[in-house]
Amino acid sequence: MENTPLKKFRAGAVSATIWTNTSKEGGEYNTVSFERGYKDKDGTWKTTSSLRLNDLPKAALVLTKAYEYLALGNEAEA
């Protein structure tokens, strides 16, 4: 069974993705992954968790949105 994202927040090339996971005991919990997309010298899209200076505000925004979504529930999207 493939795990699909619960929600993804994007600001330009920077994104935070919320995943729902199942523990060994059967309970569920959420995790947040974070990445920045870029094209390499051959034009192929790659991802990294490294940030440049101009990426920091975007990272703060998408991580805040992910936190709001998890802490406040779906009403955070309003």
Q: For position 67, what pLDDT does the model report?
A: 96
Per-residue pLDDT of the chain in tens (78 residues, 90 and over written 9): 567 899 999 999 999 999 999 989 989 999 999 999 999 999 999 999 999 999 999 999 999 999 999 999 866 554
Distance CA 45, CA 40 (A): 6
pTM for the full predicted model = 0.84
Distance CA 72, CA 57 (A): 22
Beta-carbon contacts of 3 under 8 Å, excluding residues fewer than 6 positions away, are 19, 20, 21
Q: For position 4, what pLDDT does the model report?
A: 86
